[in-house]
Amino acid sequence: MDRHNGRDSDCVIERDDGYIDINNSKPYFAVYDEWPTIERMAMRYVGERVLDVGCGPGRHALYLQGKGHDVTGVDISPLAIKVAKARGLKKAFVMPLSGLRFPRNSFDTVLMLGNNFALFGNPGAAKRILKTICTVTSKHARILAETLDPYRTTNPAHLRYHALNRARGRMPGQTRIRVRYGPYRDGWMHLLFVSKNEMEGILMGTGWRITRVLDEGDPHYLAILQKTGP
């Protein structure tokens, strides 16, 4: 909301091992020409009816709405949805990924851009929610799933965190973080960053498979998931 109103609004991302990073909110408002290449390439795979999961202030949803797509944005943050609506998104709802509530055959494409495949949190939840997404999408639906490969790093702090996760019986890319901004502190949230091979394993039995991977060679990649189930 502060960025929408013209104020600087960088926040701190704190991981549960004490590692911190600064998150710049400006990219959440980026126009099409400022998007990462793989996100611009992914637009050719978008169908008519779109669900944007974790839409934030609506940078992807608003672009597609402007191109004539029927777009619905959902986000767990009430203020994010308020900003998206203020910026012109016609259909936007406060709704968690784990509680998608739409009729059958509502969407042709589900966007999980901006690393939002990580919102599944853990492998078990990913499998359950992917099956739910099957029920609200059309026969030939796609998911555009962006994430980062946690193994594409040489940062000693990240490598130690991978080892800690293995010792705790978790996947190396499972991450627990919270956001701090000014006097505000979010609750802890779980994210799931996976390699392509790990994603393929998670997809087994969910009704989805990878048909293409858009990858520029940095830690981020974008998988095109095609529906195979009912």
Q: How confident is the model at residue 9 (pLDDT cuts 50, 70, 90)?
A: confident
Question: Is pLDDT of 145 > 90?
Answer: yes
How far apart CA 43 and CA 220 sit, in angstroms, is 17
User: What are 47-72's pLDDT values in tens digits?
Assistant: 999 999 999 999 999 999 999 999 99
Distance, in Å, from the CA atom of 84 to the CA atom of 56, rounded to the nearest integer, reads: 7
Q: Residue 230: which pLDDT band, with cuts at 50, 70 and 90? A: low
pLDDT tens-place string over residues 146-186: 999 999 999 999 999 999 999 999 999 999 999 999 999 99
> Tell me: the pLDDT tens digits for 84-141?
999 999 999 999 999 999 999 999 999 999 999 999 999 999 999 999 999 999 999 9
pLDDT class for 8, splitting at 50, 70, 90? confident
Residues 202-206 have a mean pLDDT of: 97
Task: Catalogue all structural domains in the chain, each as residue range(s) with its CATH number.
Answer: 33-175+191-227 (3.40.50.150)
| Nearest one of 141, 182, 122 to 49, comparing CA atoms | 141
Residue 20 tokens read as: 């911190």
Sign of CA dihedral 23, 210, 102, 97: negative
d(CA 107, CA 72): 9
Look at residue 82 in the predicted model and tell me its pLDDT: 98
- Calculate mean pLDDT across residues 73-86: 97
Task: Please check whether residue 151 is in contact with residue 158, taking contact to mean a CB–CB distance below 8 angstroms.
Answer: no
pLDDT at position 181: 94
Whole-model pTM? Answer: 0.96
The strand ranges marked E within 48-173 are: 49-53, 70-75, 92-94, 107-112, 137-148
Q: How much is the average pLDDT of 187-203?
A: 97
Q: Is the pLDDT of residue 229 over 80?
A: no
